[in-house]
A = this chain, B = another copy of it.
Amino acid sequence: MVYMKNCEDLAFPQEIKKTKQREEIFRILSEETEPVSAVDIYNRLAQTCGNSNFAISTVYRALGIFEEKGYVSKSTLMGGDMAYYEWNYGTHKHYAICLKCHKLIALKKCPFEHMKIETENDNFMITGHKLELYGYCKECRIEDEDI
């Protein structure tokens, strides 16, 4: 995990070789406040750089490197079949996902920060976790009073 003092410190990681493509992918990830899929990134590249010389495999490969070095975290939202990627700003984030409109709402803080969790035999060393909440956002509850 890479820790930074604040968002202004955000820069392309030194340990990863810079290329035009990786810089663009980094820019998109760093501008984004929500997890994005590889295809999202690819489409956004097509918009900004013309539908020119970017390959989807380049996106996957760059994301793979970023993830391997701990700069990006990968997750599968809503048990879906596509992976979403998000730049790691030191502290991780969790989301609540509206079951109706699929909007993501960030949690104020990680509920596990100071929590002790017991596994079956109490002999598991926990190093990380993933959490997703499901439910209904304010707007969807107002629209549909059954909820």
Contacts and interface: CB of A to CB of B under 8 A. Distances in A.
A17 interface: no
Number of copies of this kind of chain in the complex: 2
Q: How large is the interface on A (under 10, 10 to 19, 20 to 34, 35 or more residues)?
A: 35 or more
Nearest to A116: B111
A22 to B, nearest CB: 21
A124 B135 CA distance: 7
B134 A131 contact: no
Nearest to A73: B79
Given A109-B118, A125-B136, A130-B130, 18 more contacts: A76-B76, A76-B81, A96-B119, A96-B124, A98-B124, A99-B127, A105-B119, A105-B124, A106-B119, A107-B119, A111-B111, A111-B115, A121-B138, A123-B138, A124-B135, A126-B133, A126-B134, A126-B135
28 contacts: A79-B83, A79-B130, A96-B119, A96-B124, A106-B119, A107-B117, A108-B118, A108-B119, A108-B120, A109-B118, A111-B111, A111-B112, A111-B115, A111-B117, A121-B138, A123-B137, A124-B138, A125-B147, A126-B133, A126-B134, A128-B133, A128-B134, A128-B135, A129-B131, A129-B132, A130-B130, A130-B131, A130-B132
